Amino acid sequence: MKAEFEILRRRLSQSGVVLATLFVTACGGGGSSTSPVPPPPSPPPPPPPTVTVGLDMRPDNLTCVAPARPADDAAVTVSDPFPNLPNIIQPTKIWLEPVADPRWFVARKTGQLVTFDPDNATTLATYLDLSAVVRTQSEGGLLGFAFHPNYPATPEIFLSYTINHSGPAMRSVISRFILDNVSAPGGGTVEQVILQVDQRYDNHNGGDIAFGADGYLYIGLGDGGSGGDPNDWAQDTTRLLGSMLRIDVTGPGVSYPGNPYNVPADNPFAGNAECGPSANASDCPEIYAWGLRNPWRWSFDSVTGELWLADVGQGAYEEVDLIELGGNYGWRCREGAHDFNTAGCGTGFIDPIIEYGRAQGNSITGGLVYRGTAIPAMVGRYVFADYGSGRIWALQPDGQGGYVNDQLIDTNFGPTSFAAGEDGELYFTDINNSRIRTLAPAGAPAPDLIPTLLSETGCTDPTDVTRPYSGLVPYDINAPFWSDGAAKDRHLALPNGTTITRTIDDDWDFPNGTVIIKNFRLNGNLIETRHLMRHPDGVWAGYTYEWNAQQTEATRVQGGKSVRIDGQDWIFPAEGQCMECHTSAAGFALGPETAQMNRNFTYPSTLRSANQLETLDAVMMFTSPLPGPASGLPALANPTDNGANLNDRARAYLHTNCAQCHQPGGPTPTTLDFRYTTPLDSMNACNAAPLLGPIGVPNGLLIAPGDAARSIVIERASRRDVHGMPPLGSNIIDTAGVALLTDWINSLANCN
């Protein structure tokens, strides 16, 4: 009764009717009483205006409720997979040969590259021996190697090592070795030196190298040594030290010795003269990113292509970074996310993904994103270690757009590198004991309550998995996100008895247990269904399901993937990637907010077209009633509505596709604010220089009023490389969106 009374009270109060409490009195004791004459009846109030709503009642949701989050802990053990293999003294890096029947290759600090057969791991074979030239003092030695992208058809391997030099204490060398025999190189093997970099001290060499999916060679270098970067070389882009480099060593025109490498045209300082071993007159074009202290192991995610890097700290913090083109990671101005020596420092530093202090370790070793199958709870998570403490961790999304460390195991080993086997399982070098180790599951897998099949989620019709469960509320938004041309439908699922709270900025706060569902279709066929959940502990997380060709079932995708569908590469995001866009600054749930939902929608269950805000209000899905008619509340324009105001359309597009990251409190190092409520002159974009440089646009500004061709916002929206926006989840340029933003910027006379 109480619930029904509250509904009646709210409805009557909204109509101007007040419920009176009736008191009836009587006089007793033998006396007499006189009944008062009742006043004449008041005329009835006018009927309230009729508001058509789309639903008669709130759907009963018994099954589509977010379960408990998957367990954070992935129980692992460490074993020796090659117990009969001789000790590998001072192993610095391990990697699998990229052939059908591969050998393991291991670099030794002392200068030898050795191999062994994993199927008969009883002997070691020396593949290349640089011990006569390698300088091994302090942190020097043979530090990295990489196979040519076309190996073994192109019989080349690249090595990174340090040597003595008459001037500085140490010189880092990157060389190409043209092999006379891939199986066992002999006297006909030729070394071609590609790049040399001088260091004043003999520590902080970095030294890892790898080829990216773009075919370019990436090189990680430390700051040149000593402590505290006394020469500030990590912030000095006229030197190669303290940086991630990217060069083209396989493209047209590369020749030795005249032109051992080219500079990719989109490097931040491309076009400048190439740097020599020491200082340059201008910014070094080889630099991809900078502000690193000593990057000790980094890797590309084999699925997403993201570049994960571990940077060794000074004395307080170790850090993990996601490396972006043109990014400045702060050293020596900052150690981790903390000020270190800020003399002469600017702004715009990129925060680490995570950091940890000396209580947990003192020398981080980068690893890989796990793509194996033996440890399901680790799929898609970045695994790394600490050389000093022996601890091994896997990053876990925290549901707030960030990550936390999940310690897998505490060992007495000394991890110096990680690699993946043919099956995706992780191996690492243990320099303390001269062994190769592997991670394996310990006991039963941790429980994961997220169903494997979409039909098991309780969010679909039990008789037809392609149809929504009756407890869901369908909805649409005014300014849809760009999703590579896919058509979408959307549904809300709230636990019974819970409500949505509208915040002061017209964002929406959903109750624990909420599931927000989005279906994607290409050419009429379901291809993906995403569930954004607020788990019972209040943490948000995203999950995705891939539909089969028969349209009879969808299966959960863990760790992300890319699939060729109808002539385009469709991206299924990893769980952690979901929360890179569903940011805490934007309230996690991006589409359902007042300005997006303030529109009419035809409800399939009633075939009535009605305003969504007023419908949700009528069926008691808001914690408090609407403050007035929906016509008086904010509403975004539809960017595709050519009849709407151009400024409103463009601002709605930026709000939807960009503002989840580019607003105060967002995860980017910029001060951009692309929310539709922010005036143009307060967006920090109009007539503003780009933080990451003009990326090939002469005299480029983020927004150049009246000149879209000079506007970096247009340039980035027009690309799908490392400079493209959005930075993930899209392979196809939104040409209509680019045209809209172009027309808008060209229409601007100034920033007012």
**Per-position DSSP letters for 330-362, written without gaps between them:** -TTTEETTEES--TT--S-PPPPSEEEETTT-S
| 3-class secondary structure, 504 | coil
Task: Tell which phi-psi region holds residue 242, choosing left (phi > 0), alpha (psi between -120 and 50) or beta.
Answer: left
pLDDT at position 550, please?
97
Q: List Cα–Cα distances, 161 to 135, 164, 249, 307, 516, in angstroms.
A: 8, 11, 17, 22, 51
Q: How far is residue 569's CA from residue 563's CA, in Å, rounded to a whole number?
A: 5
SS3 of 281-305: the string is CCCCCCEEEECCCCEEEEEECCCCC
pLDDT band at 503 (very low <50, low <70, confident <90, very high): very high
| 3-class secondary structure, 110 | coil
Q: List Cα–Cα distances, 388 to 221, 363, 391, 415, 664, in angstroms.
A: 21, 6, 8, 8, 38
pLDDT at position 585, please?
85
Q: Which two tokens stand for residue 538?
A: 């209040």
pLDDT at position 168, please?
72
pTM of the predicted model over 0.85: no
483 contacts: CB under 8 Å, gap ≥ 6: 520, 730
Q: How far is residue 72's CA from residue 446's CA, in Å, rounded to a whole number?
A: 8
Q: What angle do CA 496, 502, 504 make, to 5 degrees?
A: 160
Q: What angle do CA 510, 560, 302 make, to 5 degrees?
A: 145
pLDDT at position 692, please?
67
pLDDT band at 6 (very low <50, low <70, confident <90, very high): very low
Q: Is the pLDDT of residue 29 over 50?
A: no
Identify which of 657, 661, 681 has the alpha carbon closest to the alpha carbon of residue 736.
657
Q: What is the CA radius of gyration of the chain?
A: 31
Torsion of CA 456, 460, 461, 462, to 10 degrees: 0
SS3 of 247-269: the string is EECCCCCCECCCECCECCCCCCC
Q: Which two tokens stand for residue 177?
A: 């070795």
**Least confidently predicted of 137-146, 582-591, 736-745:** 582-591
Share of the chain above pLDDT 70, in %: 92
261 contacts: CB under 8 Å, gap ≥ 6: 194, 195, 217, 247, 248, 249, 254, 286
Average pLDDT over the chain, rounded to an integer: 91
Complete DSSP assignment for 551-609: SS-EEEESS-EEEEETTEEEEE--HHHHHHHS-TTTTS--S-SHHHH-SEEEETTTTEE
Alpha helices (H) along 28-119: none
CB 237 within 8 Å of CB 325:
no
pLDDT digits (tens, 9 = 90+) for 320-375: 999 999 999 999 999 999 999 999 998 889 999 999 999 899 999 999 999 998 99
**Least confidently predicted of 14-18, 269-273, 274-278, 456-460:** 14-18
Q: How far is residue 281's CA from residue 675's CA, in Å, rounded to a whole number?
A: 41
pLDDT at position 36, please?
53
Q: Which contacts (CB < 8 Å, 24+ apart) does range 485-489 have?
A: 485/522, 485/568, 485/732, 486/520, 486/521, 486/522, 486/527, 486/528, 487/520, 487/521, 487/522, 487/524, 488/518, 488/519, 488/520, 488/521, 489/518, 489/519, 489/521
Amino acid at 49: P
Q: Average of pLDDT values for 25-40?
A: 46
Q: How far is residue 471's CA from residue 482's CA, in Å, rounded to a whole number?
A: 28
Q: Which two tokens stand for residue 57?
A: 């009642």
Q: How far is residue 159's CA from residue 146's CA, in Å, rounded to a whole number?
A: 7
pLDDT at position 21, please?
34
Identify which of 145, 43, 147, 24 has the alpha carbon closest to the alpha carbon of residue 97.
147
pLDDT band at 30 (very low <50, low <70, confident <90, very high): very low
pLDDT at position 22, please?
30
pLDDT digits (tens, 9 = 90+) for 650-688: 999 999 999 999 998 887 778 899 999 999 999 999 999
Q: How far is residue 480's CA from residue 639's CA, in Å, rounded to a whole number?
A: 8
pLDDT at position 271, please?
92
pLDDT digits (tens, 9 = 90+) for 525-575: 999 999 999 999 898 999 999 999 999 999 999 888 899 999 999 999 988
pLDDT at position 338, please?
96
Q: Is the pLDDT of residue 471 over 90?
A: yes
pLDDT at position 304, please?
85
pLDDT at position 74, please?
76
Q: Which two tokens stand for residue 471?
A: 């407890």
pLDDT band at 140 (very low <50, low <70, confident <90, very high): very high
CB 439 within 8 Å of CB 419:
no
pLDDT at position 349, please?
93
Residue-range domain boundaries for the chain: 133-325, 454-632, 646-747
pLDDT digits (tens, 9 = 90+) for 109-132: 999 999 999 999 999 999 999 999
CB 33 within 8 Å of CB 27:
yes
pLDDT at position 93, please?
98
Tokens 């090595």 identify what position? 159
Q: Is the pLDDT of residue 4 over 60?
A: no
pLDDT digits (tens, 9 = 90+) for 574-624: 887 888 888 888 889 999 999 999 999 999 999 999 999 999 999 999 999
Q: Which two tokens stand for residue 682?
A: 């307060």
Q: How far is residue 217's CA from residue 145's CA, in Å, rounded to a whole number?
A: 11
Q: Which two tokens stand for residue 452?
A: 């494997």
CB 331 within 8 Å of CB 372:
no
* Cα dihedral across residues 643, 644, 645, 648: positive or negative: negative
CATH class of 133-325: mainly beta
